[in-house]
Amino acid sequence: MNKVVILGAGSWATALAVLLGKKGVQVKMWARRKEQAEELNTTRENLRYLPGVVIPSTVTVYADVEEALQGSKGVVFGVPSHAVRETAALVRPLLKDQQIVVNTAKGMEEGTTLRLSQVMAGELPPGFDERIVVLSGPSHAEEVGRGIPTTIVVASAKKESALLAQDLFMTPKFRVYTNPDVIGVELGGSLKNVIALCCGISDGLGFGDNTKAALMTRGLAEITRLGAAMGAESLTFLGLAGVGDLIVTCTSMHSRNRRAGMEIGKGKSLQEAIDSVKMVVEGVRTTKVAKELAEKHEVAMPITKQAYEVLFGGASPKEGVARLMMREKTHEMEELVWD
């Protein structure tokens, strides 16, 4: 695992390249555009996506994906969720003896409602389903790139694959845990973006800590309900991929989803909010998928439903809040009720 390729050249891909490069791993990054590859190799800095972070000499950027994959023992997907299928199909004929394939995107596929590991398993060569590892947890690229202490979790259907990923990424500043619950880790990492959008909208409306605490707590409840219905372990959502990632994404100004939500709360349209962030806002697509999954599994997800209505149904943020506050009375925890 001393030679790794990272597919993608955005903020998170760059942060992971810096992390591994500082560890002494020979890292090849793949950028779609030749101009971007040349710029990163020359300036040793990703000025657009991760300014101020020096890319070590152990990292080389390529525009040719075949050249980037040559000799690599591990493949890390650092592309946005909507590009995972296309990227997996692109590298499929080039994969040979790689030990593991790590996905770092947090989202689900719009249209199919598949988790990203499922998307990858369908596109990669036979036998690679047990080599797929999911990496998730509270980890802003801006902080990881600067060596700020961070903890994350990796999950895989095969224990050995998760352990390989753990060994690959573990450093004194980047602690890695393993978890066998792939479904829970993926759902936690993607669905928290919906709640972060809502927390941003709340901030944009000028609401306070009470509102944000309510959104995060009740948001975690509906994430857990959907996860359990889809076969995840409920305890996973109390871990790094669940409440950990939820906290950091709902409260930090590094969070693209929260920032986009704030602009919507201030009155901007969805497109204007996305344009203001200037990077992919994963929660927008995930809101559509989450609503579809909630209906499919007959799971109550009122916050997600109102997020969808605000983003795509023409409802104003204040209308969404009113609907949430004036819903039919219910118990906080359906499992703990009076006879």
Give the CATH number for residue 174: 3.40.50.720
Contact in structure between 39 and 188 (CB atoms under 8 Å)? no
Does residue 96 have an active-site annotation? no
Domain contains 201: yes
Residues 264 and 199 in one domain: yes
Based on the fold, state whether residues 113 and 199 are members of the same structural domain: no
> Which residue, of 180, 215, 241, is where some domain finishes?
180
Same domain, 270 and 221: yes
pLDDT tens for 3-51 read 999 999 999 999 999 999 999 999 999 999 999 999 999 999 999 999 9
Q: What is the b/e burial string over 90-125, where b = at least 16 CB atoms within 10 angstroms of the residue's CB? A: ebeeebeebbbbbbbbbbbbbeeebbbbbbbbebbe
CATH number where 299 lies: 1.10.1040.10
pLDDT tens per residue across span 116-161: 999 999 999 998 999 999 999 999 999 999 999 999 999 999 999 9
User: Per-residue pLDDT averaged across 215-235, rounded?
Assistant: 97
The answer to whether residues 270 and 183 touch, using CB atoms and an 8 Å cutoff, is: no
In three-state secondary structure terms, 172 is coil
Q: Is the pLDDT reported for residue 78 higher than 70? A: yes
Q: pLDDT tens digits, residue range 149-182? A: 999 999 999 999 999 999 999 999 999 999 999 9
Domain housing 36? 3-180
Number of separate domains in the chain? 2
Please identify which of the residues 22, 23, 192, 291 carries the catalytic annotation: 192
Verdict on whether the full-model pTM lies above 0.85 = yes
Which stretches within the chain are classed as H helix? 11-23, 34-43, 65-69, 84-91, 116-123, 141-144, 159-169, 182-204, 209-229, 245-251, 256-265, 270-277, 282-297, 302-312, 317-325
Q: For residue 337, is pLDDT > 70? A: no
Average pLDDT over residues 226-230: 97
